[in-house]
Chain A
Amino acid sequence: MSARTGARLRPQWRRALAEPATLFAKLWGSHVVARLGPDEDLIAIDRVFLHERTGSVALKSLAAAGRPVLDPHRVFAVTDHIVDTLPGRTGTRVPGGGVFLTATRDETQAAGIKLFDVDDPDQGIVHVISPELGIVLPGATLVCPDSHSCSQGALGALAWGIGSTEAEHAMATGTLRMARPKTMRVTFSGNLGPMVTPKDMMLALIARHGAGGGKGHAIEFTGDAVRALDVEGRLTLCNMATEFAAMTGFVAPDAVTFTYLKGRRYAPVGDDWERAMAAWQALSTDGGAVFDTEITMDAALITPMISWGITPQSAVPISDAIPSAGESNLTEADYRRALDYMGLESGQMLLGTPINAAFIGSCTNSRLSDLRRAANIVRGRQIAAGVVAMVVPGSSAVRRAAEAEGLDRVFLDAGFEWRMSGCSLCFYAGGDGFAPGSRVVSSTNRNFEGRQGPGIRTHIASPETVAASALAGAIADPRGSV
């Protein structure tokens, strides 16, 4: 926090900053435009990102109200949610989905907003391309009408998901009216074992504390196991904060972050880069700062995880049996409903459960490092007969980089589909989908009932576990695959 920034702050924040402060307090405090009430502030929003599914509604509504976008240069848009991901694509396979693409194109053009459209070399999933392009930056506030916006906290930003109406507000005023969230620190101490990933860290956290466990908190992820992650791993970690019912998650920026960002298209350059670095290096929690809630997890005890139910909290170490109702942290009725939907039985082992499909993609696990790790497992091998398996790179840039390394050949030779970038079958919007009743092992973030299609049974896991399971034709432990 620079002295100049401190001088601009209101007295209560100056006092707060004189005491040991959390990173959250620094991020929040430097964006307070006005106090609205005892627990509410008007918060400056540095970046707004939109996608066609929810952003189009916001732009149309704003235009209909005759309200201009305050600063279109700080608003970005992308088509990712319902775009076709099969090669040769031109639009969407979702019945009636074309209007979302058309509206996004028309409204962004009218408002002077940069759109990364389906044929743009920088197109991809919003939470993949925003870091790739240096649009999200340490110390910045970023909002997007998409729940996984919390992913972008990985860069040391305060980034969170909002509704379309809030997106209108952010664009029209450059601010949001916000109640101050509670703070939480989640410390992953120790080191991860082989084939254990940030996805497994988050599934372990959510399984232990429940899908509501992060209840509205702003969560700082820290500890040796977090520090050891590259930016892509941190993006996976923060991505799942919303599955924990948190407002957001973030990681204090460090040399790993700065090295990642330098030279990216919208990152600062020249003197601005030097000044930004000086400011960003102060973005950490002071020793002695107090959080509303603290959770510690021993990273060394985490194993590959997989979900068995219909909420991310219903996940277990992959070699475990499905827990009993009493151990499940669900009501008896919710437990029965989950097992009925998933076609599983209490006490059943998950390993060896036959699968129909395997999906590697989504804003959780579709970046180059995810694809490299999955490719290491499938290289030179074949997926099981009858399994439909696909890889959907998170962005067009990831796709190009993967192809330059020959990863597309690795997956294609093994029997995977190699698709164009987008959200794809992370959720079902109509059109493209898995065969009815399929059991899918998926590197996505949500195993909700019907999320990947009516009756589709989703098991969420790391890309490694998805890859190993595709080869085995059944749920498989990636640690036994190489």
Chain B
Amino acid sequence: MTLSLALVAVLVVAAAAGLFARNRAIGLRGGSERLNSLPNYHGLYVGLWAALPALLFLAIWAPTQTSLVDQAVLASPAGQQLPDFDLARETILGEAQEIASGEREAGFNPESSALAPVYAEASAKYATVGGAIAIAIALAAAFLAMRRIRVDFRARSGVERWLMGLLVAASLIAILTTLGIVLSLLFESLRFFKLVSPTEFIFGTSWSPQMALRADQAGSSGAFGSVPLFWGTIFIGAIIAMIVAIPLGLMSAIFLTQYAHQTVRAWLKPILEILAGVPTVVYGYFAALTVAPLVRDFGISIGISSASSESALAAGLVMGIMIIPFVSSMADDSIAAVPQAMRDGSLALGATRSETIKKVVLPAALPGVVGGVLLAVSRAIGETMIVVMAAGLAANLTANPFESVTTVTTQIVQLLTGDQEFDSAKTLAAFALGLALFMITLVLNLIALSVVRKYREAYE
């Protein structure tokens, strides 16, 4: 019996118990007293009691089961002969699991084939135990809930308490996700910093994570100085992209809110938003195939012989285009929030519209615009596909936009795709980079959100 079968069984039990309870409540009708709650609520009450505790148990059991099965396999005679080295053991266990579930015929390690039957047996045993417990919980809870059905039983309040619990649980998932991100990144990063010193990671200027094949080769430890990566990220995302996006986005917002006719605005705003809806992989392809050769040819024609076909400029330009609608809609919101009275006052003094915008509206909207720009920067430095496809892999510290630079996100993708062994410094470095990226965007987002919020309150 697998756990998904147990899941279905629990749901069937719950549905049957619910229907039964509903019919019983209908049977109670017709006496002298009126039912306190509608029959449907009685049914729902019993059904929820039957389903939710058992589902909760299954949710906790499923991950526990994996480690129990692993322990059982390791304790078996064949399992005790496995190498002590964690990595090798986990690989073999993983292969045994895949063979047991029929995903592959045989593993690379001969031990895994011997372990597969043990594995299949252990997981079948624990799944049966877990499934049986879950069904027992469902039946017991349904029985207990059923006993409470009486004419004056407040089934609706009971159902509402369950619903409330579900609503609270749903809203806690956001916190759990944040916590999950922080913990998983932190945990792997700490393992990375055991191998590589944090000072080298933060201040080092050379990045070449390629591990040598043999330990005695030169540079076998790899170099993990992240400065060139962060420079590349800032150069593409915060400098080149913003040089494109801020003027175009801001001027678009000003034109659409202050000058354009209502119908023109109604058409142009959604069209601009299409730019934000185009998938980033499409932008990446566009940047790599169309923009990059143009930029390289332009660079060579103005006499820069080192112009690369994976230039920072191509990736930055396309990223800027992608960010335009983002900046524009943030600026749009904050300009619209400036009270009309301020605008009227300026116009009444004889200022032209552009003078009003430059001297009154923009200064008043500035905090919102700055917040929007910060959010845009945070988005640009976290953007992955454009730089993976259009920027290079060479970690150069250069301010020449025609040369190739690499970014944090490019390197994360590069480090984690390909052959993975989960304990090498190369793989763990990706998590350290991810942690740094998460921290930077978190700070940018928090500043931006608080600036925007404070500013909104000021005019409301």
**B partners with A:** no
